[in-house]
Structure 1
Amino acid sequence: MRGFSKAIITGNLTRDPELRSTPNGASVCSFSVAVNRTYRDASGEQKEDVSFIDCSAWGKLGEMISQYAKKGTGVLVSGRLDQRSWEDKTTGSKRSRVEIVVEDFNFTGARDNGGNGSNNFGTSSAADASAPSDIPDDIPDGEIDLSDVPF
Structure 2
Amino acid sequence: MYNSPVTITGRIVDDPAYHLTPEKKDGVMRIRVASSRSYLKDGEWKNSDILYVNVEAWGRLGVNAHQALLKGTAVIIQGILYTNTWVIQEGKDTPDGKDVIRQDNRLRATSIGVDMSFYKVGYKDARPQLASNLNEVELADGTAAHYPSFDIRGKAVQETPSSETVPEQDSQEQQGDQQPDQQPDHEQDRERELVGATAGADQEEAPF
- Tell me the TM-score normalized by structure 1: 0.64
Secondary structure class of the residue paired with 1:56: strand
Secondary structure class of the residue paired with 1:61: helix
- Asked whether 1:93 is paired with 2:100, we answer yes
Distance (Å, rounded) in 1 between the aligned partners of 2:29 and 2:89: 24
Distance (Å, rounded) in 2 between the aligned partners of 1:47 and 1:16: 22
CA drift of 1:88 comes to 3.4
Give the structure with the larger helix fraction: 2
Off by >2 Å, runs of 4+ in structure 1:
87-94, 125-132
Secondary structure class of the residue paired with 1:64: helix
Letter in 1 for 2:4: S
CA drift of 1:89 comes to 3.5
5+ residue gaps in structure 2?
40-45, 134-208
- For residue 49 of structure 1, what is the aligned residue in structure 2? 49
Distance (Å, rounded) in 2 between the aligned partners of 1:57 and 1:86: 19
Cα distance change on mapping 1:4 and 1:88 into 2, 3 Å = same
Letter in 2 for 1:95: R
5+ residue gaps in structure 1?
40-45, 133-151
Identity %: 25
- For residue 27 of structure 1, what is the aligned residue in structure 2? 27
Distance (Å, rounded) in 1 between the aligned partners of 2:72 and 2:8: 15
Secondary structure class of the residue paired with 1:88: strand
Cα distance change on mapping 1:107 and 1:56 into 2, 3 Å = same
Cα distance change on mapping 1:9 and 1:47 into 2, 3 Å = closer
Distance (Å, rounded) in 2 between the aligned partners of 1:76 and 1:13: 10
Distance (Å, rounded) in 2 between the aligned partners of 1:97 and 1:64: 25
- For residue 103 of structure 1, what is the aligned residue in structure 2? 110
CA drift of 1:104 comes to 0.5
Distance (Å, rounded) in 2 between the aligned partners of 1:95 and 1:77: 25
Letter in 2 for 1:14: V
CA drift of 1:64 comes to 0.7
Letter in 2 for 1:77: I
Q: Is the 8 A contact 2:89 2:101 kept in 1?
A: no
CA drift of 1:5 comes to 2.4
Give the structure with the larger strand fraction: 1
CA drift of 1:33 comes to 0.5
CA drift of 1:110 comes to 5.7
Letter in 2 for 1:97: D
CA drift of 1:96 comes to 1.0
- For residue 4 of structure 1, what is the aligned residue in structure 2? 3
Aligned counterparts, 1:123-142, within 5 A: 127=127, 131=132
Letter in 2 for 1:17: P
- Asked whether 1:16 is paired with 2:20, we answer no
